[in-house]
């Protein structure tokens, strides 16, 4: 989930400004002036100078137009030219994230550091704790020989003054699959897209806002402007993001120009039904494990980094895929737009013929602000149909397992139902990826494994704008509503 900070504030401000200008029909005329208007000559610089601030703003806007900033080499091109490219493209590219080199601080290699809090104490526990004799006290101050240090961290555990700290590289630290690499020649970070699972953790971790998501907001706005039947497919987590009821969110989306709102929980009903049946079949065939398949970042993690677990991943499609298929079957001319908290859904949508675009909650929030729509003040319209309570619970951790259990009990009373021995991975990190390998080898218990890349489930996604605790409560309240 995005936290409140200057980088996020700037990004959201830019989004609102772009959408507002698009709405007025003046974006092409005004877009080149935006960096200068946001950083005038007498403004305080966020970086070394306002000129660098302006360059960073330009590249941020390019990413919002869906441009891969690291591939652009012609610095003389104007934003209005990139806007024309975005307006003319038929579909967005499949690469999701970009590293903005000019905004990157090029952090030093992560290491342990002895601060001025060191007192050069007589006991010198740090020197005794170090297995490689990498620490020595010189002139009353402990020093680390980085040629010997193996980053074990034992020194920081024993220092009585907490004078030894670990200085991380935040994006590298956050990535669960080590897809953030450092170029040996330039000493700069880059994303290895062959390893990247599009989880978005690096984007939220970078304190310089140097990792950008390539937006599809211009594509959606153009589709609405051109009179297409644009259908908003809202993820179950949406109720915890905006003030107001689901019916008011549906009303707000129509005011934005969407033809209708469809709950992705409708697709979750089908995912639950098929996944429950698949689990029963696998257990009756004496298979020892099945894992969920609805989190695209998790599935990509398995494909790219833990392939030995792939045979245990459910073959059931995701709620988004079932929902978009239903809409396309009803009206093949409809433009389907998934709206949720997830970066990885962009990758999934690029491989799904029925899902046209993906918007984030953050982008929807910017759109509502640009159109001056207060969801809580909108009239509540009737939803298209009621959705099963357990399907709405997919947005929270353990929600899928609970849904599978309910489905098996309610839909297969005539069958011998295998016992569901659920285990959970609530957020992927480096340790959790190692756990996945152990599950594949049968070294951890359970016959059903639910994996969510984001802590707390989808409500904790990188593009969520609500607090996880409040969003979880809102989702559960709606799921429990009779």
| Residue range 111-167, CATH number | 3.30.70.20
The least confident of 65-74, 270-279, 350-359 is 65-74
Helix (H) or strand (E) segment spanning residue 358: strand 357-360
SS3 (DSSP) at 436? helix
pLDDT value of position 1: 57
With a pLDDT cut of 70, the percent of the chain lying above it is: 98
Determine whether 446 is exposed, middle or buried from the number of CB atoms within 10 Å of its CB (0-12, 13-18, 19+): middle
pLDDT value of position 407: 86
Average pLDDT over residues 249-264: 97
C-beta separation of 341 from 237 below 8 A? yes
SS3 (DSSP) at 404? helix
Give residue 392's pLDDT band: very low, low, confident or very high (50, 70, 90).
confident
Give residue 297's pLDDT band: very low, low, confident or very high (50, 70, 90).
very high
Residue 345, pLDDT above cutoff 90: yes
Give residue 105's pLDDT band: very low, low, confident or very high (50, 70, 90).
confident
Residue 50, pLDDT above cutoff 70: yes
User: Domain ranges in the chain?
Assistant: 6-105+182-214, 111-167, 219-480
Determine whether 152 is exposed, middle or buried from the number of CB atoms within 10 Å of its CB (0-12, 13-18, 19+): middle
Buried b (16+ CB within 10 A) or exposed e, 278-301: bbbebbeeeeebbbbbbbbbbbbb
CA 340 vs. chain centroid, Å, equals 9
- What is the rounded distance in angstroms from the CA atom of residue 22 to the CA atom of residue 31? 10
- What is the rounded distance in angstroms from the CA atom of residue 467 to the CA atom of residue 405? 28
Average pLDDT over residues 202-220: 93
Angle in degrees, 0-180, between the axes of helices 430-440 and 296-305, rounded to the nearest 10: 70
Average pLDDT over residues 464-480: 86
Average pLDDT over residues 309-323: 97
Residue 383, pLDDT above cutoff 60: yes
pLDDT value of position 181: 87
pLDDT value of position 456: 93
Contact partners, residue 80, CB within 8 Å, separation at least 6: 28, 29, 31, 32
pLDDT value of position 481: 67
C-beta separation of 448 from 279 below 8 A? yes
Bridge partners of 190, per DSSP, are: 181
Give residue 71's pLDDT band: very low, low, confident or very high (50, 70, 90).
confident
Residue 480, pLDDT above cutoff 90: no
Average pLDDT over residues 329-340: 97
Give residue 434's pLDDT band: very low, low, confident or very high (50, 70, 90).
very high
Residue 26, pLDDT above cutoff 80: yes
Q: Is residue 139 left, alpha or beta, with left meaning phi > 0 and alpha meaning psi from -120 to 50?
A: left
Average pLDDT over residues 267-295: 94
pLDDT value of position 159: 96
Q: Which residue has the higher pLDDT, 394 or 183?
A: 394
pLDDT digits (tens, 9 = 90+) for 169-178: 999 999 999 9
CA 268 vs. chain centroid, Å, equals 19
pLDDT value of position 154: 95
Determine whether 16 is exposed, middle or buried from the number of CB atoms within 10 Å of its CB (0-12, 13-18, 19+): middle
Buried b (16+ CB within 10 A) or exposed e, 452-469: bbbbbbbbbbbbbbbbbe
DSSP-H helix ranges across 148-295: 154-158, 170-174, 201-205, 217-225, 246-256, 265-284
Residue 197, pLDDT above cutoff 80: yes
Give the strand pairing for 422-426 and 448-452: parallel
| Residue range 219-480, CATH number | 3.40.950.10
pLDDT value of position 273: 94
Average pLDDT over residues 192-203: 94
Residue 415, pLDDT above cutoff 70: no
pLDDT value of position 73: 83
CA 204 vs. chain centroid, Å, equals 8
pLDDT digits (tens, 9 = 90+) for 147-186: 999 999 999 999 999 999 999 899 999 999 999 988 877 7
Helix (H) or strand (E) segment spanning residue 136: strand 135-138
- What is the rounded distance in angstroms from the CA atom of residue 195 to the CA atom of residue 176? 10
Residue in the structure block whose two tokens are 């969920």? 292
What is the overall mean pLDDT for the chain?
92
Residue 72, pLDDT above cutoff 90: no
Residue length of the chain: 482
Contact partners, residue 195, CB within 8 Å, separation at least 6: 177, 178, 179, 304, 305
C-beta separation of 236 from 268 below 8 A? yes
pLDDT value of position 41: 87
Determine whether 393 is exposed, middle or buried from the number of CB atoms within 10 Å of its CB (0-12, 13-18, 19+): buried
The least confident of 99-108, 239-248, 324-333 is 99-108
Average pLDDT over residues 129-146: 94
252: nearest Cα among 374, 382, 386, 359: 374
Residue 330, pLDDT above cutoff 60: yes
C-beta separation of 444 from 438 below 8 A? yes
């Amino acid at each position: 989930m995005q936290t409140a900070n200057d980088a996020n504030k700037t990004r959201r401000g830019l989004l609102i400004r772009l959408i507002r200008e698009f709405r007025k029909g003046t974006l092409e005329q005004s877009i080149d002036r935006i960096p200068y208007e946001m950083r005038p000559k007498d403004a305080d610089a966020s970086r070394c100078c306002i000129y660098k601030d302006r360059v960073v703003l330009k590249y941020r806007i390019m990413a919002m137009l869906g441009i891969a900033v690291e591939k652009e080499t012609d610095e003389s091109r104007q934003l209005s030219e990139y806007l024309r490219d975005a307006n003319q493209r038929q579909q967005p590219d499949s690469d999701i994230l970009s590293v903005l080199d000019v905004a990157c601080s090029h952090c030093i290699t992560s290491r342990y550091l002895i601060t001025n809090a060191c007192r050069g104490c007589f006991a010198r526990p740090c020197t005794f704790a170090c297995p490689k004799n990498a620490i020595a006290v010189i002139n009353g101050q402990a020093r680390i020989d980085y040629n010997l240090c193996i980053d074990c961290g034992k020194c920081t555990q024993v220092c009585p003054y907490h004078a030894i700290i670990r200085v991380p590289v935040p994006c590298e630290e956050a990535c669960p699959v080590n897809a953030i690499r450092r170029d040996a020649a330039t000493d700069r970070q880059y994303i290895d897209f062959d390893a990247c699972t599009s989880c978005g953790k690096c984007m939220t971790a970078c304190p310089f806002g140097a990792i950008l998501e390539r937006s599809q907001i211009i594509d959606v706005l153009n589709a609405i402007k051109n009179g297409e039947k644009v259908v908003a497919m809202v993820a179950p987590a949406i109720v915890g993001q905006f003030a107001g009821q689901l019916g008011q969110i549906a009303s707000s989306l129509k005011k934005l120009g969407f033809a209708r709102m469809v709950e992705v929980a409708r697709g979750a009903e089908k995912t639950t039904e098929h996944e429950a049946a698949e689990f029963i079949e696998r257990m009756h065939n004496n298979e020892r494990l099945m894992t969920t398949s609805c989190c695209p970042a998790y599935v990509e993690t398995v494909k790219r980094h833990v392939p030995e677990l792939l045979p245990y991943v459910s073959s059931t499609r995701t709620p988004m895929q079932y929902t978009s298929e239903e809409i396309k079957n009803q009206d093949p001319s409809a433009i389907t737009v998934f709206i949720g908290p997830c970066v990885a859904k962009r990758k999934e949508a690029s491989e799904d013929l029925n899902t046209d675009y993906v918007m984030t909650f953050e982008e929807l929030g910017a759109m509502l602000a640009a159109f001056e729509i207060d969801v809580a003040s909108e009239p509540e319209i009737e939803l298209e149909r009621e959705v099963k309570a357990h399907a709405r619970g997919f947005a929270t951790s353990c929600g899928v397992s609970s849904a599978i259990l309910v489905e098996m009990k309610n839909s297969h009373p005539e069958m011998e139902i295998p016992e569901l021995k659920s285990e959970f991975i609530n957020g992927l990190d480096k340790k959790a990826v190692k756990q996945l390998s152990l599950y594949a080898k049968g070294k951890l218990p359970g016959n059903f494994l639910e994996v969510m890349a984001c802590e707390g489930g989808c409500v904790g996604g990188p593009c969520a704008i609500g607090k996880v605790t409040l969003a979880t409560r809102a989702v559960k309240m709606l799921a429990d509503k009779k």
